[in-house]
A and B are shown apart, each in its own frame.
Chain A
């Protein structure tokens, strides 16, 4: 009991000044609950490493499955970190200083998840360093691997001053000075992050775009970059801020208090809406052009959507329900100010990005290419789901710890005086 009291005392000493947090017991119960599904994920991951990838439903037809689709999805959702950093430090939208820290936290989780999922997907993580040492410099995936690794370092550097600003650490002179100078250099770090993100978001789109043997995904482009390169960048910066808004809202619901002022959220939502609208226009042009070009070379449009579950509904869902509807909500000032509608738009937008990434990886592999090919479908099994969702639970634990001990919401004290 004394041991527990000591920990409770230490916990109180670490909580930022002037803010209220739940009791230490409550916090421990919450973290304990999150560990239950987390352990299922750990078991699934250990199964993949110990028993090899034949415990999954991946096969020679579908070497890219849920893991790669989820990977592309979380990387797009993590774009909120680089885009918010870009808007805050380079475009100089000052209000965003109130949410940029949290965008970095979300970014760290997303990129850690992407690398963690890849660590399982490659089957032999002990050989993960091969891609860096035996780099195939002509491969877009190599570019992705290098950029993601470097960008994760950038995110960790952006997160580092938050740790140094913890109440107990900040009072020491040296961490205080380092945090101060790290904040000063943040525009340079943000610029490096923008450079890296631009290339890896794009190259993830470039991977399906250069598959000239698969007319469903192949696109022409500009120099060495297919149009999907640019569409992926645009879609990522359209949904990243929405994901940041969504996670902020979820954190607010759990904390039962406002953490960020509505005008800050509104700025992000408005920019996200404009980006989404631009993306939808370009994506529609790309789809129409692709329908014509693919039809001319003997791959009629109907052949892409001839097999269930990938019927025409996929296109309607991706561009219409998960694209046009959130864009309309985000573009309308009145709709944006209704919190329920705003969250619905963010939810649809984020779901849309996952659907797009699933289509560009799994549906691309599912559509038969040769006349003698048979349609084979792919459904992930529990091992794949559990090892992917593992990062959701880890992310929740990470956000809980960060929110409890670090000053990530500068407006919290002002919004919740006590």
Chain B
């Protein structure tokens, strides 16, 4: 449920509850992307190193 959904109510319970859920989901997405991008960059750098030799 998003703040623009028809059932949304602007009260602290909605903000805390849904806010916690979205914080967790966003954190997980960031972590996965961070690991994916770092892994890709590592692989790219190693490949370049390999080509240099």
Contacts and interface: CB of A to CB of B under 8 A. Distances in A.
A181 B35 contact: yes
Contacts of A135: 1, 17-18
A180 B39 contact: yes
B1 A132 contact: yes
Interface in A28-61: none
A174 B40 contact: yes
Contacts of A3: none
Contacts of B32: 157
Interface in B1-50: 1, 5, 7, 13-14, 17-18, 21, 24-25, 27-28, 31-32, 34-36, 38-43, 46-47
A180 B18 contact: no
B29 to A, nearest CB: 10
Contacts of A196: 24
A181 B24 contact: no
Nearest to A183: B35
For chain B, the bracket of interface size reads 20 to 34
Given A137-B14, A173-B47, A182-B35, A192 B24 contact: yes
Interface string A171-212: 001111111111011001100100110000000000000000
A177 B38 contact: yes
Interface stretch (A146-154, A298-306, A323-331, A362-370): A146-154
A34 B13 CA distance: 46
A185 B31 contact: yes
B39 A185 contact: no
Classify chain A's interface size: 20 to 34
Contacts of B27: 188, 192
Given A174-B39, A177-B39, A195-B24, A189 B17 contact: no
A173 B46 contact: yes
Contacts of A150: 21, 24-25, 28
A138 interface: yes
Q: Which DSSP category, helix, strand, loop or mixed, fits chain A's interface? A: helix
B13 A154 contact: no
Interface string A144-172: 00100010011001000000000000000
A134 interface: yes
A157 B34 CA distance: 13
B35 A178 contact: yes
Interface string A338-374: 0000000000000000000000000000000000000
Contact of B1 (A133, A181, A188): A133
A318 interface: no
B40 A177 contact: yes
Given A132-B1, A154-B28, A174-B40, A181 B34 contact: yes
A195 B34 CA distance: 21
Interface string A113-141: 00000000000000000001111011000
Contact of B36 (A137, A178, A184): A178
A74 to B, nearest CB: 22
Given A175-B39, A181-B38, A192-B28, 12 more contacts: A133-B5, A134-B1, A137-B18, A143-B17, A150-B28, A157-B31, A173-B47, A177-B38, A179-B39, A181-B34, A185-B34, A192-B27
**What 10 A-B pairs come out closest when comparing CB atoms?**
A177-B39, A178-B39, A177-B42, A173-B43, A181-B35, A137-B17, A174-B43, A181-B38, A182-B35, A137-B13
24 contacts: A133-B1, A133-B5, A135-B17, A137-B17, A137-B18, A142-B17, A146-B17, A150-B25, A150-B28, A154-B28, A173-B42, A173-B46, A174-B43, A177-B38, A177-B42, A177-B43, A178-B35, A178-B39, A180-B39, A181-B34, A181-B39, A182-B35, A192-B28, A195-B24
